[in-house]
Each structure stands twice: as structure tokens, then as C-alpha cells.
Structure 1
Amino acid sequence: MQVGIDKMSFFSPQHYIDMVDLAHARGEEPDKYLIGIGQTQQAVAPATQDVVTMGANAADQMLTQTDREEIEEVIFATESGVDQSKSAAVYVQKLLGINRYARTIELKQACYSGTYGLMQARDYVTLHPEAKVLVIASDIARYGLNTGGEVTQGAGAVAMLVTANPTIATLNQDSVFMSDEIMDFWRPNDSSTAVVDGKFSANIYRDFFKELWDRYRAQTSRDLNSFKALVFHLPFTKMGLKALRDVLPEVSEEKQNALLTSFEASRHYNKQIGNLYTGSAYLSLMSLLLNDDTLQAGDDLALFSYGSGAEGELFSLTLQANYNQGLITNQLPELLEQRTQLSISEYEQMFASVVQGSTNRALDITHDHAKFVLSGVQDQKRQYVEQF
């Protein structure tokens, strides 16, 4: 029996900034951001969007009523949780009308936990072939204004439905993984922004990838020629490119060029959305599926997932026939086309407006066009609203 990703969907807030504008505002040369970091635009979350609303907005677009009745688990991966005790998954269960006889759980390990959630979903469906599991990876990447990490911020959510006999791709049982307690990135409980040692973290990412790639080759006897493309966790897209370049000498020039072409397809949307933390690798997977017209059923893809602190995993997926039917037609192009560009001053005001703490607060939701929004806080409780 094959188990894997049956459907995928994406959501990101309706506002963005241009990296050229940000570079000028910060006194930097634009190419430092455009080429050196590999980002062109960055999604900006208003106060009315948090990880719960983004996750619900992503999943809602792909779920049928039958799905909502048959889902047995909701696994929510985030490092931007809204409560220290209550899971984001249980909010989403209610917002989406998912049956009450489903498990709801939230996972955390920096940017990695979306992958762990996906593997837990795969293993559960393997034991329960009739089950469906909803996996959501939703985050708002915040490092602060005028910080070194500001250019690698972003916001969005990827939702995946895991089933037997999937439409998009099977998740193969060939994972290699590793963990090490490393202080390259963290966010203290009293801070709404992350702390990162950027250069150190980028080096650890590459070290993890190379070690896991060598371990994968040793355990599976497969090499780069076995894969149509490599998909990377992309907190900023230049990071994945550097990791790919580390292993390209293992294959012919022709294969190198093919892998680089596929990588460009896989970072097309990440360059315009920014950092999704837990969702970054899976936005990259969606970007590859939507922008590489050479993909075929039966192609194997390798995916490298990384979370600072640190944990990594490398595994393979096999594309199914008609895999594009598991994606929503024109979803990402239309989302990008409908976004509103902010000036840097508008972005700075929006950045500062985020809901923090539990003080009573009412938010103006009239300018947020998403289906699910955060309308405020009342009696220390977040108030979620379905607008249509």
C-alpha cells in the first residue's frame, strides 16, 4: 500500500514588501538581498492574521465535506504558537468544521516539525489505511526591524492531506535524520522575535545536509542520478542553492544543469513569499510541482528538511500520475497577483501592530479579505471569525 500527500494548499497574507525598497531603506545595495540572499519580495502579516487563521485559510481551500468528516488527526506544526498550552490544531478543527472525533496536536522543533508531522501522518495512515490526516505547517517569521534577519522574514501556511493511494506523491520509507543541541537560532518565551546567529546557522544547515546526504547514500545505495530534483528547506533561497552546489560535483555537467534548473523552479514562490519556517520546504515542493514542466509520474524527489537548534531529515517522494490534480489550479499565481504592496513605513507600522499578550483588544477586520481572521482578544481569549 502506498501512503503520501493526496492534496496540498497554500495561504499567505495579502500584503508584501519589495526587497529593493527594503534595501534602500536600510542603506544596503539591492543585490545583497536579491542575489546574496535570493529574495525578491516578502509577505507581511497584519494583526488580523496569525498561524491559526493562516492554517485554516490554507486547509479550507482544499478540503471537501467528506474530508472534514473523515479526518482522524489534525497535526499543526509551528514555532509561532498562540498559546503555551492549547494547540493551534484544536482551533483549526473548529474553524474548519472537522469532526470532533479527531486528534488535535501541535508540534514544535523550529523549522523541522512540519516534516515530523508529515511522517507521523504517513505512519498512522499506514496502520489505518482508511484514515485521513491533515498536516498544517504555519508560521510568521519575525526577527525585528533593522536586524540582520529582517530580510529573511515572511508569513504563510502549507496544508497537506495525507492518505492511502495519494494523488500527488508517496512518502517513501527511507528517511535519515539527526539532531544536535546547537544555539544557532532560538526565541525566548518573553520575546516575539527570534534570535539568530545567521552565518553560523547557515553553515550548520549545510553541514547537516552534507552529513545526512552521505548517510542516505550509504544506507540506500542511491546517488544524485536517482533523483529528478532536490527540494530544500528555504528560509532564504540562496541557502538551498549553496547546499545543492556542495554535492553537484558528484554528477555529470548535464545532470548538474538539470538539477539547477529544477532548483530554480522550486524556489520561484519562496523568493516572493519569504520565510515560512515549518512550511518553507513544502512551499518549495509546491513551487517545483507547479513550475517544472519536465516532471513526470514516477519521478523521485529528495527533500531536505532542517530546523535550527538543530534537527534535520532527508527522505524521498515519488510523484504519482496526474499529481497536479492534488493542487488547486492557479492558487499561487492568483494569490500573488491579488496582493497589495506596502511602503516600508506601512510595513513597519503593520509589523508593530501584531497581537501580543492577553490584553483586551478589538481589531479592524474590514480590510482583511481572508475567510478566517483574528478579530481581537477578549477576556484573554483570541477571537476568530469566519467572514464568508
Structure 2
Amino acid sequence: MTAVGIDAIEIWTGKLKLDLAETFAPEKGEDPEKYTKGLGLHASSFPDAHEDIVTMGANAAHRLMERKGLKPDDIGRIDVATESSFDNSKPVSTYIAGCLESVYDGDFHHANKGERKFACIAGTQSLDDAYNWIKAGRNRGRSALVVATDTALYARGDPGEATQGAGAVAMLITEEPSLVALSTEQGYGSADETDFLKPNQQFPSVDGKRSMQVYLARMREALEDYESVAGASHPDDFAYVPFHTPFPGMVRKAAVLAYRHMIRDTPIEEDLAEEIGFQPREEDYEDREAYKEAIREHMDALGSTAAYQEWYDAAIEPTLDISREVGNWYTGSVHIARAAALKRAAEDGRDLAGEVLGVGSYGSGAQAEVHAETVRDGWKEEIDQLNVDEQIDDRYDLSFAEYENVHDRHNHDKSVELEDFTIPESEFVFTGRGRMNERTYEYVE
């Protein structure tokens, strides 16, 4: 059976940085550890004045195409996943294709283009679409380009303000990929929820407590659904488990839930029972509230065990390396979690070929997806091409007043002029608006 999956990946982070401990926390009169330990975030990335979701996505895609020696004719599909779109009709993929056509001979006139929207899960849904397109034999030997690009901004003063971020991930989907092959088996958890939404508005309306509950409930459903087709999962099955990461603190909650589920009725649970007891079973409780309270207490105890901590440090913690420095990228967040895990493995000299990742994606509104990815022989060569560390280190460090100006610059309801903090070089930039209010772009050498 022909494998289909991610052949290559490139990352483009917004070129500005807001330090949460040194800059944000003092202005808010907060303890820095509220952000660094509570949320698990150190800094956020923001777009410069000349950046937006198109430039970040186009720059990531351009770098990927250049590195892989691709031309437009090699691409038969361009899908952009975003929840930061500025047009309710014209998809961001057409803008990105237009940018790329300005630097290549040839065009994407015969490539299918679209835009996916389902909050943060849309990037994974776009991967699924590309996978299905290739598996159906409709690609004619061509590859698919999937771009997840977002500016995750909140209204100033909103509790979510500290989790903001901006960046893009571009992925090349092919037959016999070099990086990871996607599993045929998938699991879904989906329900009509109003935990996070943007009804004709740029900044989200968020029920934070409800959003965390929905995230965990849908993840549990997706894992159960995945196991219904793939068989029972076990912590030893996965080298890493990248989750959607709105902030690392959320992943800490999802990870202990997943671990509890995977060890149920296994020797691991039996061994831990001597320390914290067996997991509560609902049939042993007449009152569902009493059962739920028992589960909460058991999960708190489980999260403190050495067995769980060892698994978390090996399978989860490495996936957070990039996110804690750049914040939430919405559709891109699970994909930078995957990249972070593979990058850590390469740095540690670990041979991952043939090992499996368990990927948990989520989008508010709400849906989760769980699938597996098998690491391919060429994974290290691909991951070694990433320069995300250099990008993170090179960001301009904003003062709080500068941050407020940047936020206003990217507020769709404001018209704010702002000088660039960085000098564009070998990249696409936003240049203004055309006669129909369309956004315009050019490539700067």
C-alpha cells in the first residue's frame, strides 16, 4: 500500500516578540509565573507592519518550494487553513498562489485552491483533504500544498490576551513522504458548542472554563473513536503525542486524561493501584457527580506519580518547545507541536524512523481528531532544514507601548499607520490595498 503523508514542512513566525514575564506581566500587575508556569508560555510572536496571514503563509510556502526544488506545475492543490481570514468570499490560497506566481515561471492555474475553516482543527482537516485527494488517484502525480496561517489576536484586556501568537506552517503532502505517513485510521469527537466563536467579528468571544471542558471531552471522544478502528492504544505505542496547543497548560490537562485512558485495564494501572488505587468506574457510583469528583481526584493523584511524569517528560514535554516561545497559532499549533517533537529527537540523536506519533487536533465549536503518523526514513534530513530557532532569536523585542501599536495595526476595525520594526529581506510583504479594497503584496529582495 502506498504511503501518503507530509514530505516536508516549513515554519514562518511573526517577526516581533512580546516577552510575557519581562514586558506583559509588569504592565498587568501580575506575577510572571502566572504566564511562565501557569500557562506555560514565555513569549508571543506578532506580525510586523508588513506582515499578515498571506505574507507569513506565502513565505513559508516559498521557502518549502525552494528547498524541495519545486515549480508551480508540481502542485495540484493549495489549501489554506485559517481562522483569521479577511475576506468572506476570496480564499487566502488565491492570494498566496498569486504571491508565489510573482517569483516563479509558470502558474497555479490548474491547481485546486480552497480555504478551510473549523477553528484550530482546520489545518488537520486540510491534511485529510490532501490525503484523500492523493489516495483517490486524482492528483495526477502532483503534490498538495497545505498552509496553516493565523494571527491569533484577542481584544486587549481579554483573559486570552497572553496566549496570542502569529505564524504559519507550510506542509507538502505527497506519496511516499520523507517526514511522516498518515494513518488510514482516524477518530473524531464533535458536538455543537459555543466555547469560542467569532460571529462576524475579528476578536473571539470565549468562555474559557467551558472551552477547556469541551477540549477535553472532544479529545476523549476522538480517542475512543480512534480505538474503535485502530484497536486499544497504549502509552508505549507512541514516541511523541503532539496535541493542539493553545497554551502548554492546556496540554498538561489533556495529557493526563489520555494517559488515564490508555492505561485502563493494563498492568500499568495495576501497578499504580498500590499507590493511588484503581481508576473509578462509573458503575460503582449511583451519583454521577460523585463519580466525576472521584475521577478528578484520581487524575490529580495520577498526574503526580513517577510513572506518569516519566511518560509526560518523554512523550509530551518535547512537543511544547516551540509553542512556549511563540504562543498560539490556531490552525498551526498542532503542527508546530509535531515539528518541535521531531526537532527535539534530531537534537538528541534519536533514531525515530518507523516509530509512531499520536496526534490530537482540536477546533472550538467543537471537534477533535486523533490519528497516528509513522515517522519515515528521511525525517531527520527534513527536520534539520528548519531554522525556527534562528527566527525566534531574531525577533524584535517589543515594549508594551509598541505592542499596543502593533495590536492596533492588525485590528481590522482600525486604520493605523506603523513603521516596520524589521527590514524585509527576501520575503513577501503587504503593500496596501487595490481599487476593490483587495490587499496587495510584492516580493522584496
**TM tier, shorter chain?**
over 0.9
Is 1:279 equivalent to 2:346 in the alignment? no
Q: Percent identity?
A: 31
SS across alignment from 2:51: coil
- Residue 76 of structure 1: aligned partner: 80
- Following superposition, the deviation at residue 195 of structure 1 comes to 1.1
Asked whether the 8 Å contact 1:52–1:88 carries over to 2, the reply is yes
- How far does the alpha carbon of each residue in 1:73-96 deviate from its partner, in whole angstroms, 9 at most, with x for none? 000000001211101001111211
Asked whether the 8 Å contact 2:7–2:171 carries over to 1, the reply is yes
- How far does the alpha carbon of each residue in 1:338-381 deviate from its partner, in whole angstroms, 9 at most, with x for none? 1111111110111111262698x887568442501111123312
Higher helix share: 2
- Residue 222 of structure 2: aligned partner: 212
Aligned mates of 1:357, 1:387 — CA distance in 2: 28
- Residue 292 of structure 2: aligned partner: none
Q: Measured at CA, do residues 227 and 67 of structure 1 come closer, stay the same or move farther in structure 2, by a change above 3 Å?
A: farther
TM-score after normalising by structure 1: 0.94
Aligned mates of 1:110, 1:321 — CA distance in 2: 32
Aligned mates of 1:386, 1:255 — CA distance in 2: 49
Asked whether the 8 Å contact 1:230–1:259 carries over to 2, the reply is no
- How far does the alpha carbon of each residue in 1:253-282 deviate from its partner, in whole angstroms, 9 at most, with x for none? 557513432311110000001010000000
- Residue 315 of structure 2: aligned partner: 262
- Residue 152 of structure 1: aligned partner: 163
Asked whether the 8 Å contact 1:236–1:275 carries over to 2, the reply is yes
Across the two proteins, how many residue pairs are aligned to each other?
Answer: 386
Asked whether the 8 Å contact 2:189–2:221 carries over to 1, the reply is no
Is 1:38 equivalent to 2:47 in the alignment? no
TM-score after normalising by structure 2: 0.83
Residue identity matched to 2:5: G
Asked whether the 8 Å contact 1:363–1:376 carries over to 2, the reply is no
Q: 1:374 aligns with which of 415, 427, 430?
A: 430
Q: Choose 1 or 2 for highest CA Rg.
A: 2
The unaligned stretches of length 5 or more in structure 1 are: none
- Per mean C-alpha deviation after superposition, the further-off stretch among 3-12 and 123-132 is 123-132
After TM superposition, what 4+ stretches of structure 1 lie above 3 angstroms from structure 2? 249-256, 361-368
SS across alignment from 2:132: helix
Is 1:7 equivalent to 2:63 in the alignment? no
Q: 1:171 aligns with which of 171, 182, 186?
A: 182
Aligned mates of 1:376, 1:247 — CA distance in 2: 47
Asked whether the 8 Å contact 1:358–1:377 carries over to 2, the reply is no
- Residue 299 of structure 2: aligned partner: none
Is 1:59 equivalent to 2:69 in the alignment? no
Residue identity matched to 1:314: V
- Residue 109 of structure 1: aligned partner: 118
- How far does the alpha carbon of each residue in 1:277-330 deviate from its partner, in whole angstroms, 9 at most, with x for none? 000000110011101333510011110110001111110000001202223525
Aligned mates of 1:19, 1:116 — CA distance in 2: 31
Aligned mates of 1:366, 1:343 — CA distance in 2: 12
The unaligned stretches of length 5 or more in structure 2 are: 102-106, 269-305
Matched ranges for 1:343-382 at <5 A: 343-354=399-410, 356=412, 364=419, 367-369=422-424, 371-379=427-435, 380-382=437-439
- Following superposition, the deviation at residue 205 of structure 1 comes to 0.5
Q: Measured at CA, do residues 118 and 282 of structure 1 come closer, stay the same or move farther in structure 2, by a change above 3 Å?
A: same
- Following superposition, the deviation at residue 248 of structure 1 comes to 2.3
Asked whether the 8 Å contact 2:144–2:172 carries over to 1, the reply is yes
Cα RMSD (Å) of the superposition?
A: 2.0
Q: 2:395 aligns with which of 339, 351, 354?
A: 339
